């Protein structure tokens, strides 16, 4: 059961959890849905399962006992769909980006809306500080101070370059009447790049909604790497908020598994005992991964064999026709070509709700990829293209292992005063990794030390999605407004699919191009956020040069 008396494992303000939206009777609702499956008298209500229609106290008590017995019985038997009806919306404050990346967004069964570091400035005090003492605490605080200083300096010194690119794309906005909007837009682009030096300890606030089933899973597995203390602290308060709403829910709540019982912890412990998880071995892993990745940001490593034929056959099965009536080209186009399939011009993603388009579920692509922590935090929001992301500290060694934003590289190439930006950027990252190594030498746990890692920290993982999920993800992330790294990874993926399966790959396009081909107006769906380039008039091979670093 949740431990409300557990001390917060932080020196900074502890996470705050508020239950802001909920089913009024989630427990009774779960039992009512179960009983309805076998009811000859129609829908069973939550009030009925609680015996509220009975006049005698003894009968009401027997009804509640039967309710609790059935609830526990179906729970233990694994019949858990009844627990997915009730949903709970939480407002979370003072939670770290590391916790969100590692736990809240590491699975598909949730919805979140969180504050953006691309569009909202980060303040010095908005950082998690673990319970450290003495010199370890001083090292941590000095590192955060220099990270914040570098962030502010980069925001300021990137402005001329960001402004130059912005006005090259929107020359009309150089006029005085656009000065305020131009300044805001340029500032956002500077923050997008500068945030790479910020620690993953940076606070976020968000709405987070899960079903009752997901919350039970959270509670059972809340003591899990990478940040088990923060995870357990937040999840136990989420569970307590629900139990305060509906105490009967306690009938289904299991105690959390100990950290030692989780498979990744056990595997890492065994490897450590065999001295297979040293800084040297971690560095060797990184070097091998990057060598396999080669020139790619995201490398296609597996695809469904005969994917185009399989997709075409699946389409013909839906329609009950022979190849003579519908060729492979026509069948693939029926799913993916917006000129014929007008659903592709809709704002809603309707692919999984359409009989014909579900044929795309049988074609899958697997990519091995490398993104920064901050870019991967966006990539993982595409929950239908899941990835096997790492225990982060199992990848970290004592040297900087980071991703560099394109604007930093461009600034260096420009020379002059702009070249200094590269030094500011790399100096901050070098000092960050020195601080992480120093904390380890002071006996600080890897969990606590990991909070100092920068947003630029490289994340290496493998990701898989079916062609419907890939199509939707690339539609969103090939937009020129997408974050730079995820745009480049998406372009890399689209080109490789097109080279492997041209019938399919030709339709992996940004939203404006799909809308143009579908005859939808306006072509750009972004309104006043229009990127300034008529992308739909260009070929995929032109995208990288057209987008530039803005």
Chain segment 342-351, per-residue pLDDT in tens:
999 999 999 9
Chain segment 507-516, per-residue pLDDT in tens:
999 999 999 9
pLDDT for the residue numbered 1: 63
Q: How is 520-545 classified by DSSP, letter by letter?
A: -SSS-TTGGG--SS-GGGS-GGGHHH
Under a CB-based contact definition with an 8 Å cutoff, are residues 239 and 15 in contact?
Answer: no
Question: Is the confidence at residue 394, as pLDDT, over 60?
Answer: yes
Pairwise CA distance, residues 497 & 62, whole Å: 61
- The distance between the two most distant Cα atoms of the chain, rounded to a whole number of Å, is 87
Domains and CATH numbers, the chain: 16-114+203-263 (3.30.1360.170), 134-202+392-457 (no CATH), 303-369+459-547 (no CATH)
Pairwise CA distance, residues 85 & 137, whole Å: 45
Higher pLDDT, 6 or 38: 38
pLDDT for the residue numbered 3: 65
Pairwise CA distance, residues 99 & 399, whole Å: 23
SS3 assignment for 83-117: HHCCEEEEEEEEEEHHHHHHHHCCCCCCEEEECCC
402 bridge partner residues:
457
The token duo for 211 is 């079903």
Backbone angles phi, psi at 539, to 5 degrees: -90, 160
Pairwise CA distance, residues 208 & 20, whole Å: 10
Mean pLDDT of 285-308: 98
Chain segment 175-210, per-residue pLDDT in tens:
989 899 999 999 999 999 999 999 999 999 999 999
pLDDT for the residue numbered 355: 98
Q: Taking the model in full, what pTM does it have?
A: 0.96
Per-residue pLDDT band at 75 (split at 50, 70, 90): very high
SS3 assignment for 174-228: HCHHHHHHHHHHHHHHHHHHHHHHCECCEEEEEEEEEEHHHHHHHHHCCCCCCCH
Per-residue pLDDT band at 7 (split at 50, 70, 90): confident
């Amino acid at each position: 059961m949740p431990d409300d008396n557990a001390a917060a494992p932080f020196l900074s303000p502890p996470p705050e959890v508020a239950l802001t939206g909920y089913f009024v009777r989630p427990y009774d609702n779960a039992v009512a849905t179960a009983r309805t499956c076998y009811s000859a008298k129609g829908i069973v209500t939550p009030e009925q399962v609680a015996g509220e229609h009975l006049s005698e106290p003894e009968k009401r008590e027997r009804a509640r006992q039967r309710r609790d017995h059935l609830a526990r019985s179906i729970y233990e038997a694994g019949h858990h769909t009844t627990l997915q009806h009730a949903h709970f919306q939480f407002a979370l404050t003072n939670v770290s980006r590391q916790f969100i990346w590692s736990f809240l967004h590491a699975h598909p069964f949730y919805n979140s809306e969180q504050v953006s570091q691309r569009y909202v400035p980060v303040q010095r005090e908005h950082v998690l500080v673990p319970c450290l003492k003495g010199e370890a605490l001083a090292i941590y605080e000095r590192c955060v101070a220099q990270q914040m200083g570098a962030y502010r300096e980069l925001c300021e010194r990137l402005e001329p370059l960001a402004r130059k690119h912005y006005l090259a794309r929107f020359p009309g906005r150089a006029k005085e009447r656009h000065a305020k909007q131009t300044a805001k837009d340029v500032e956002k682009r500077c923050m997008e790049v500068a945030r790479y030096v910020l620690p993953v300890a940076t606070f976020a606030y968000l709405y987070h909604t899960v079903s009752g089933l997901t919350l039970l899973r959270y509670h059972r597995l809340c003591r899990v790497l990478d940040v088990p203390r923060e995870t357990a602290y937040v999840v136990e308060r989420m569970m307590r908020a629900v139990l305060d709403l509906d105490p009967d829910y306690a009938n289904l709540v299991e105690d959390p598994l100990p950290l030692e019982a989780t498979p990744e912890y056990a595997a890492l412990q065994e490897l450590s005992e065999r001295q297979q998880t040293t800084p040297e071995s971690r560095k060797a892993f990184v070097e091998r991964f990057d060598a396999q990745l080669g020139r790619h940001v995201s490398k296609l490593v597996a695809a469904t064999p005969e994917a185009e034929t399989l997709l075409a056959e699946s389409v013909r099965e839906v329609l009950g026709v022979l190849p003579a009536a519908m060729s492979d080209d026509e069948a693939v186009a029926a799913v993916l070509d917006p000129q014929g399939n007008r659903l592709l011009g809709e704002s809603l993603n309707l692919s999984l709700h359409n009989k014909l388009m579900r044929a795309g579920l049988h074609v899958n692509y697997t990519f091995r990829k490398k993104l920064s922590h901050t870019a991967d935090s966006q990539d993982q929001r595409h929950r239908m293209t899941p990835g096997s992301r790492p225990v982060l500290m199992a990848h970290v060694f004592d040297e900087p292992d980071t991703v560099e934003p394109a604007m930093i590289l461009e600034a260096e190439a420009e020379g002059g005063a702009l070249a200094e930006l590269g030094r500011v950027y790399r100096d901050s990252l070098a000092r960050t990794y020195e601080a992480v190594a120093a904390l380890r030498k002071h006996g600080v746990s890897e969990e606590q030390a990991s909070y100092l890692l920068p947003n630029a920290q490289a994340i290496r993982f493998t990701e898989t999605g079916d062609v419907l999920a890939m199509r939707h993800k690339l539609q969103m992330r090939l937009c020129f407004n997408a974050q730079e790294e995820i745009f480049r990874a998406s372009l890399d993926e689209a080109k490789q699919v097109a080279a492997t399966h041209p019938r399919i790959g030709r339709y992996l396009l940004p939203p404006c191009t799909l809308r143009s081909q579908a005859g939808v107006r306006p072509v750009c769906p972004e309104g006043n956020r229009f990127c300034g380039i008529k992308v739909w008039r260009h070929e995929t091979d032109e995208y990288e040069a057209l987008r530039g670093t803005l």
